[in-house]
Chains A and B, each alone.
Chain A
């Protein structure tokens, strides 16, 4: 099981490495966000932007889902960082009981996502943990 789980991750990690960007997945540590008085760190803010540049077209504004893709503020409560990275990099297909297919594309080749994967994760976790309200967050001043 470990091996089976590890292999796709290694592929994912290689994809990232080949693009020249390291995530923290190899160290196994999930990236952390900072939210203070409703304001967020630079990374989390960037995650907000990048999420709403690509992911929101299916996963909805403020990660609250749409009529055809899940609300990540819920999903991320039970998905660990490794699974998050794997899903984004490789995509996912699910066939439901009616035979309808739900599909998420693989973003492993999309630098607009891979370069910002950790920031997107920071943003989504801040939302899933309920510490960041909907809408455009403000940055913590430098």
Chain B
């Protein structure tokens, strides 16, 4: 699987490349994917073979590591190009998974396909959604035991989000759990499924919606999924409720913005926790759940750590769903003062409430912006330092909701946003749009924070060599000391990096690989930069657009000593 392990730690035990020698890193080989769109995710390495995906048209390359990436086979599905514009934020794809001799690709048109690892021939395929309704595929399928799990994108098109499990052997659907809807669809037991220790009650997935709004309620599932083999639970988060105009959908909008723990075999929800009831800012809850055992107040707990778009870093007991820690991982976060640890509810600050201020009112200086303090780009956890390494955004926004009408397959947004550097709100003279931070999830504290000129939109990698890697939007692969954050190495790749850094061993050597290829939501600001230039922010040339640093193009760069 592309996350390295079931726990989503993105930690590697490899230590040939370490803090002492990472400065000597050299490019071993490179590979152009032939696609210009945004390249998220990372390569998958199985034995002597690398499997590399691309954004739409969703090619998969099988490459021979013995011959520096010589192509064994290439698969390119035939997809109706009309799917392109119903993908909200570029035609990204976050990677492939492998099990049982099959490579799993989740296409833009929401088709899940199993390819023969030796030939690239289609073994089976199944449609997981209708692109005509705005249901699309961007996430990486994940495999656990005998099943492959896929989510759905389309929160900006009013889809009803779900997570679906298919049998690896034949592609037959094993179960589908919706984020909203009656218990039969959400796979909830009104008495046994809990929210912070309390039974959720009957049809909790419709009870906090007006009328039938849950049917177009969003709660999409396009992030990363993790798995605890001992508990046999799969963990993931759900996205924003549709529309972005909160006035149009009164109620808590359960179970959008929710952490789910489901039985991996049956899909039954064991516990849920809704982080942002009645979202008013597009703080999707889909970011990855990292499973780590940590000492909380001197007692070892099986924890789940999650860095939410809403700017809070959460630590929960992953057995029971008990909330242990909820603290801001960017001090700029201002839409809520804190999370009430008893009710789990964020304490919303009225002046930043786009619902209380109402439709057709521009609510200003909300932190974070809709893209969140962190988006899907996954964090890493090192059991050596016991720290989490988090790529973050430091961006705030103005947000004006307005009335929209739902039409199947058409955007269903209902808000206009302007985004700008966090420094405009914090007034501390800074103008960086991102930070790369180290986080102690037992206390909810930032250990160190490296400012980055642009949002850090690349997945982190932690290694036993006491080195942490990440990429930047200007295109740098950076290596930093895991203890201190001190920069040890940088290399400018051909394009901006929104991919996830990956490591593997082949022969006697450790390799580091990363996809560059600017795009995704970060690509929206590519040409324009963020607003602010015209608003007298002061700092000279602070927001030079990304286009003066880099250009488009998908390239895998592989490094070794």
Contact = CB atoms under 8 A, between A and B. Distances in A.
Interface string A94-119: 00001011111101011111000000
B35 A100 contact: yes
Nearest to A52: B416
Nearest to B420: A135
Contact of A101 (B84, B405, B407, B525): B84
B416 A68 contact: no
Interface residues of B, number: 48
Interface in A59-77: 60-62, 64-68, 71
B81 A135 contact: no
Interface stretch (B60-68, B458-466, B528-536): B528-536
A136 B418 contact: yes
Interface string A40-60: 000000001111111011101
Interface stretch (B18-26, B87-95, B433-441): B87-95
A136 B518 contact: no
Interface in B102-158: 156
Count chain B CB atoms within 10 A of each CB in A53, A65, A93, A102 and give the residue with the most: A53
Contact of A103 (B85, B518, B530): B85
A66 B402 CA distance: 24
Given A49-B416, A105-B82, A57 B89 contact: yes
Given A54-B413, A101-B84, A112 B404 contact: yes
B90 A68 contact: yes
A103 B81 contact: yes
Contacts of A68: 37-38, 90-91, 519, 523
B519 A91 contact: no
A61 B82 contact: no
Contact of B528 (A61, A91, A104): A61
A100 B36 contact: yes
B400 interface: yes
B411 A112 contact: yes
B131 to A, nearest CB: 11
A17 interface: no
A57 B524 contact: yes
Contacts, number: 124
B35 to A, nearest CB: 7
Category for how many chain A residues contact B:
35 or more
A64 B528 CA distance: 5
A65 B415 CA distance: 19
A65 to B, nearest CB: 4
A26 interface: no
B34 interface: yes
Nearest to B84: A103
A133 interface: yes
Contacts of A102: 84
B156 A67 contact: no
B199 interface: no
Contacts of B91: 68
Interface string B509-540: 00000000011000111111011011100000
B543 to A, nearest CB: 11
A62 B545 CA distance: 13
Contacts of A101: 57, 81, 84
Contacts of B526: 60, 65-67
Contacts of A93: 81
Contacts of B523: 66-68
Nearest to A115: B405
A111 B407 contact: yes
A111 B408 CA distance: 11
Contacts of A64: 527-528
Nearest to B519: A67
B411 A57 contact: yes
B410 A98 contact: no
Nearest to A68: B90
A49 B400 CA distance: 8
A134 to B, nearest CB: 5
B365 to A, nearest CB: 13
A15 to B, nearest CB: 13
Given A100-B36, A101-B84, A53 B398 contact: no
Interface string B488-523: 000000000000000000000000000000110001
B535 to A, nearest CB: 6
Nearest to A60: B528
B524 A110 contact: no
B446 interface: no
A120 B391 CA distance: 36
B216 interface: no
B36 A91 contact: no
Contacts of B407: 109-112
Count chain B CB atoms within 10 A of each CB in A52, A58, A67, A91 and give the residue with the most: A67
Contacts of B89: 57
Count chain B CB atoms within 10 A of each CB in A48, A61, A68 and give the residue with the most: A68
B413 A67 contact: no
Contacts of B413: 53-54, 57, 112
A102 to B, nearest CB: 7
Contacts of B528: 60-62, 64-66, 71, 134
Interface of B: 34-38, 57, 81-82, 84-86, 88-91, 156, 362, 398, 400, 402, 404-405, 407, 409-419, 518-519, 523-528, 530-531, 533-535, 552
15 contacts: A53-B404, A61-B418, A61-B528, A66-B527, A66-B528, A67-B523, A71-B527, A101-B81, A103-B82, A103-B84, A110-B410, A113-B410, A134-B528, A135-B535, A136-B418
Given A61-B524, A103-B81, 18 more contacts: A52-B416, A53-B402, A54-B413, A57-B156, A58-B524, A60-B524, A60-B525, A61-B530, A65-B527, A66-B528, A67-B524, A68-B90, A68-B523, A71-B528, A102-B84, A103-B85, A112-B404, A136-B362
